[in-house]
């Protein structure tokens, strides 16, 4: 198959980007496609013996069907769970998009599909002059938007759609993830977004305490996802 990659972004932090990314990796793996996840920048780490690890990175690694060096799939790991550029500055680290791109190309040589999970929302700063949208544009990947369904998500989703288009990137699709179990208008919000987002809805994840990648994979639409993956501008040669 052609090489394919997607950049996963969200309407905010904590909207389910990692869950969706892991589910997408699992979906490709179920089809026998060599797939890996990449989390270029992660903030928030825990001790594992002599090493520092990040829960999101470990979740992506658990679904991949090829093994790659941790430093390649997660080039930048900061200990404090805060905005990446703030955490990096506090630790004397400069996040370099050139290095991230080299790591991405290395993963692409080993895998047929790469799911790249961004940090926070689409325009989160990575250093003094580079934001997450700059990284997505540099990698030239179609974007999948995870919309955390809660009050305010319609505005956030439509602004993010404009930002993606403004960078000249294709919005390959979006996934609704209900993150507020007490939101009475979740269905109405999703219906409103379906009218207004100019991209296919790839999945609808209802609120479920303990939702994992296996459950989420079953709620994705594989037919629509396959169409998105096979589109000309989703391929990377």
Catalytic residue set: 39
Residue indicated by tokens 């941790």: 70
Closest to 197 in 3D by CA, of 136, 151, 145: 145
* Three-state DSSP class for residue 121: strand
Count other Cβ atoms within 10 Å, centred on residue 214.
Answer: 11
Residue indicated by tokens 């895998």: 111
* Three-state DSSP class for residue 111: coil
Residues 6+ apart with CB under 8 A from 100: 40, 41, 75, 76, 135, 138, 139
State how far the alpha carbon of 17 is from the alpha carbons of 55, 121, 128, in Å.
Answer: 13, 10, 24
Structure tokens at 168: 């000249």
Beta bridge partners of 52: 47
State how far the alpha carbon of 74 is from the alpha carbons of 23, 105, 195, 211, 219, in Å.
Answer: 18, 13, 36, 24, 27
């Amino acid at each position: 198959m052609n090489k394919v990659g997607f950049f996963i972004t969200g309407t905010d932090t904590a909207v389910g980007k990692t869950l969706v990314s892991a589910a997408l990796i699992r979906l490709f793996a179920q089809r026998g496609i060599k797939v890996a996840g990449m989390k270029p920048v992660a903030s928030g780490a825990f001790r594992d013996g002599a090493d520092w690890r990040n829960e999101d990175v470990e979740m992506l690694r658990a679904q991949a069907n090829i093994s790659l060096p941790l430093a390649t799939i997660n080039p930048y790991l900061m200990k404090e769970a805060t905005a990446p550029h703030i955490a990096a500055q506090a630790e004397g680290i400069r996040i370099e998009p050139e290095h991230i791109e080299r790591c991405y190309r290395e993963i692409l040589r080993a895998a047929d599909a790469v799911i790249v999970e961004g940090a926070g929302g689409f325009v989160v700063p990575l250093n003094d002059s580079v934001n997450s949208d700059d990284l997505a544009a540099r990698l030239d990947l179609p974007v999948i938007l995870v919309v955390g369904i809660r009050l305010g998500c319609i505005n956030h989703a439509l602004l993010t759609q404009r930002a993606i288009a403004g960078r000249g990137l294709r919005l390959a699709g979006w996934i609704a993830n209900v993150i507020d179990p007490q939101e009475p208008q979740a269905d109405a919000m999703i219906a409103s977004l379906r009218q207004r987002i100019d991209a296919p809805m790839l999945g609808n994840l209802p609120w479920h305490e303990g939702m994992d990648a296996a459950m989420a994979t079953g709620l994705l639409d594989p037919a629509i996802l396959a169409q998105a993956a096979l589109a000309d501008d989703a391929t990377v040669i």
